[in-house]
Structure 1
C-alpha cells in the first residue's frame, strides 16, 4: 500500500473555503447563542427564573442532564452562568478572527470542544426554554467542525463526507417527517398556512402568505424536492454536489427571509457548504466549469488565483492526523446508527437524541401543520375598579411575537427570543405549563427581571392594579383592508384579530 497516495486521497484540498465558512460560521452562531443565554437565561431559568435551573439540577441526575453546573465547586448562580457565556463568546471570537486556525492541526479541536461543552452545560439544564432542535444542531455542528483542522493541514475528505451525511440527517429527516406527519404536505397545501401560522413571522411573511395558491403549491413541491432528493446528490461527483448544496442553501435563505427560526436555517446553510468545492466557487466568479476540463481563460486564471488566495490550506496531511480523523469518524458512525434507522422508520422521531451527549441526533420540523393562528394577549390596568369589559387596559408588548395589529413583524433571527417562541406554544395549549402561570404572576407583580424580556413597559415599571389574559384569532390583513384603512385616514393594519376569549379574569397579583 502506498501510504503517500492514501494520504493524498484523504486530503480534501479543494474544500479549504468550505472549512473557513464552516468553522467561522459555526463559531459566529455559538457567539449568538451565548449572547442569547447571557441576556435571557437569568430571567427565564436563573435563580429567580420562571423555571429555576438550580431546582431542576437538584431534581435530576448527571445522566439525565450532564452539566458543568453540577460540579460542587461551580454550582449554578446567575453570575457563574454569565462567566460561562463570557468565556464561550471569547472562544467564539478567536475562531471568527482565525487564531486557532493559525496553530497546529489539532488546535481547533479543543477550542470548539470548549464551546460545545460550555453551551451543552447551559442547554442541558434549559428545560422547556431550550427544547428546540436547533440547540442540538448547533452543538453537534460545533463538536464536528473542530476536526476539520487548522490551516496546517488540508481538510479531511472523511470529515467532508461525514458533514454531508449530517446534512442528510437534517434535510432528509425533515422531509420525511413532513411526508409522514401531515396530509397537507402530501396534497401540497401546507404552504397555504405556513407563513401565517409559523411561530415567529418576519417582515416579509405577510407578503409571502398573500401570494397566489399556485405559488404555495410550488413552494411545497420545491421543499419536497430539495429535502428528499438534493441531500443525496451531495455524494455525487462535482459539480453535481455543489449544485445540490446551492439548492439547499437557496431554500434555507428563503426561510430566513420569510421567518425567524433562530439559527436553524443558518446552521443548515453552513453545513451545506461541505458540498461546495473551491473549484466550483472559482467557476462562479469566472473560472472554468469545475471538473469538466474546459480551457482556462485569462479571466478564469485570475479567478483561480483569487480563490487560491482565499482558500488557505496546506497539502500536508500527516499520518497521525489521518488516523485520528479516521478513528473519530468511525466513532461518529457508530453513534449515528440509531439516527440512520430512525430515518427509515414508520415511527420516525423528530428532534430526538439517542445518547446523553446529544451526538448523532434525529432532526426535523413541522411534522404537523397548524392551519389557524391564536395569540395570547396579556393586559394590565392601573384602575383597581376595572372590569373585564371596561377600563383602561393596556397590552404588554413582546419583542417579536405578534400583538399590536398595526406592527409589522420584525426580523430577529439568528438571535433567539425564547419567551416569544414559547408564547406561540402556549397559544396551542402549552399555557398549562408552570412557566406560563409564573410569567403571569411576575408580570402582574411588576417584576423588573421579567420585564427585561418584554418590549416597552406600558406602565413604566409600575405594577398594574389588575391583570387579565385574553386569546384572539389572528390573520393577516388583506391588501384591500389596508387600502380601505388608509382611505379612511386610519393606521394600516398588519393583522386582523377576532374571536376574543378569556383566559384569566381581571386579577390583582401585586402581592404575588
Structure 2
C-alpha cells in the first residue's frame, strides 16, 4: 500500500482541514444568526411551507423528520460547536474512524440546512462547501498519511472551480475578451468591500492587467496543477495569491477562502523546504477500500460536470444531485455596467404626501448611505444583502420574499431588524414603507475630498409604492 499515501503533502492536508473546519464554523454561525427572519416558522420563506412541497428524495434533510425554530437553532449551534472542535484539531486527537465520522456528521448537518434553504442558499459556495466537506471525510488524520487519491480529487475540484470560472468568462461577456470588465466590476459587484473604491480607481491599464492575470489564473494555472512538482506547487500558490487579491477587493462569503484552502492542499512541502517528508503510516484496509470506492464514484459522477465544461451553453454553479457531491462552478459570465440599489424607507405618516418625511433603513453590507465606506464581512455571508443586489437587477429575483420582508418591517419584527444595521423606528413600527430604485456609482477622488462621500446616487424610479401593514387575519 505504499502507493496509497503521499507524505509530501502532509502540511497541505493539515492546513486544508483546519481552514475547512473554520469555514464550516462560519457557515453554521451564519445559519444560526439569520435563519429565523429568512426561513423560520414566521420567516419570509418558511421552511415548513417548503417541506410540504419538496419530497425527501429531492431535498434530503433532517428537517423532514421534524422542524421547529428551536430545533433548527440547536442544529446550527451544534454544527458550529463541532466545527470549532475540528478547527482546534479534535480530529487528530481521536482514532481514524471517529475522525471520519466527525467530518461526515459536519457534511450531513450542513446538507440538511442547504436543502431547506431555498433562495437564501442558492449560491455556488454552498455546493462547493458540501462537495469539499464530503471529500474531507476520506482525508484521514494523523493516524495515516494523506491518501493520494483524495488529494488528487481535491485538485480535480479546484480545477473545476477555477477552469469553469475561466471558461464561462471567455464564453460570456465581451468585456472579458477585450480586457475591460474590471473597468466596472469593482463598482458593480454584489457587495463591495472597504478597498473596492480604491481598486475601482486604479488606472485603466492596470485593470486590463488585472483581467489578463485573472485569465491566466483561471485558464492556465489549473492545468498546471496536474504537472510534476514543483510546477504544481507553484501553480497552486499562484491560485491562492489571486484568490487573496479577490478577498481584498470584495465580499464573496467563503468562496475565495475555500478556494485558497483547496489550493494549499496541493502544496508539496518537500519542494518548499528541501527536506523530504517522513514515511507515512500504512493505511488500514477498511480505510483504503472506501477511499478507492469514493474515487471511482467521483470519477463516474464527473461526466456531467465535464460535459458542462465543454458545452457552449455552459451552466454556472450547478448541482446535479441533491447531495451536492460533484458540481459545476463558474461565476460572472457577464458583468453589469451600472450599479442599481434598492433603498427602503419608512414614515410615521399615515398618508404619503409630497411633504412626508421618510427615514431610510440601513443594511449591514449592501451600499446605502453615500458617506458610509463599505465594510468587510467575508467569509461571513449576509444573505439578505446579497439577495437585495439580485432584486435590484430584476424584481423577479425578489418575488418570493420581498413582500414578506416589507410586511415584517411594518411590524418591527425583531428577527428581521437584527439583519439590518439601522432601524429608524426603534420605538414603534412605521405607518408606511416604500422602496425606491437608485443608480449608484463610486465618487471620484475630487468628489470624495469635497463631500466625504464614497458613493453618488441618482433616483431612477419607485420599486415599491408606499405600503401599509395589513392585519394578519385579512391576508
Superposition TM-score tier, normalisation by shorter sequence: over 0.9
Whole-Å separation in 1 of the counterparts to 2:290 and 2:414: 51
Q: Which runs of 4+ in 1 moved over 4 A?
A: none
Give the match for residue 337 of structure 2.
371
Does 1:59 find its partner at 2:53? Answer: yes
How far did residue 10 of structure 1 move? 2.3
Give CA-to-partner distance per residue, 1:382-406, whole Å, 9 cap, x none. 133442x422211001011000000
SS at the partner of 2:241?
helix
Select the structure of larger CA radius of gyration: 1
How far did residue 14 of structure 1 move? 0.6
TM-score w.r.t. the length of structure 1 is 0.89
SS at the partner of 1:351?
coil
User: Does the CA-based 8 Å contact 1:464-1:510 persist in structure 2?
Assistant: no
Does 1:423 find its partner at 2:388? Answer: yes
Give the match for residue 369 of structure 2.
404
User: Does the CA-based 8 Å contact 2:115-2:322 persist in structure 1?
Assistant: no
Give CA-to-partner distance per residue, 1:262-285, whole Å, 9 cap, x none. 000011000111220122342xxx
Give the match for residue 324 of structure 2.
358
Give CA-to-partner distance per residue, 1:126-181, whole Å, 9 cap, x none. 11110000000001111101211010100011111111011111000111111112
Give the alignment of 1:272-421 within 5 angstroms: 272-282=263-273, 288=274, 304=275, 314-387=280-353, 389-421=354-386
How far did residue 319 of structure 1 move? 4.1
Whole-Å separation in 1 of the counterparts to 2:427 and 2:219: 51
SS at the partner of 1:147?
coil
SS at the partner of 1:455?
strand
User: Does the CA-based 8 Å contact 1:381-1:465 persist in structure 2?
Assistant: yes
Give the match for residue 215 of structure 1.
206
| Residues 232, 391 of structure 1: alpha-carbon distance in 2 compared, 3 angstrom cutoff | same
Whole-Å separation in 2 of the counterparts to 1:124 and 1:269: 25
SS at the partner of 1:434?
coil
- Of the structure 1 ranges 493-502 and 101-110, higher mean CA displacement relative to structure 2 is found in 101-110
How far did residue 444 of structure 1 move? 2.1
How far did residue 459 of structure 1 move? 1.5
How far did residue 380 of structure 1 move? 0.9
Aligned pair partner of 2:181 in 171, 180, 190 = 190
How far did residue 320 of structure 1 move? 4.1
Mind listing any 5+ residue stretches in structure 2 that lack a counterpart? none
User: Does the CA-based 8 Å contact 1:400-1:409 persist in structure 2?
Assistant: yes
Does 1:247 find its partner at 2:212? Answer: no
SS at the partner of 2:460?
strand
User: Does the CA-based 8 Å contact 1:154-1:314 persist in structure 2?
Assistant: yes
Does 1:477 find its partner at 2:443? Answer: yes
User: Over the residues paired in the alignment, what is the CA RMSD in angstroms?
Assistant: 1.6
Give the alignment of 1:86-125 within 5 angstroms: 86-125=77-116
Does 1:46 find its partner at 2:57? Answer: no
TM-score w.r.t. the length of structure 2 is 0.96
Whole-Å separation in 2 of the counterparts to 1:230 and 1:211: 25
User: Does the CA-based 8 Å contact 1:47-1:78 persist in structure 2?
Assistant: yes
Whole-Å separation in 2 of the counterparts to 1:391 and 1:433: 28
Mind listing any 5+ residue stretches in structure 1 that lack a counterpart? 1-6, 283-287, 289-303, 486-491
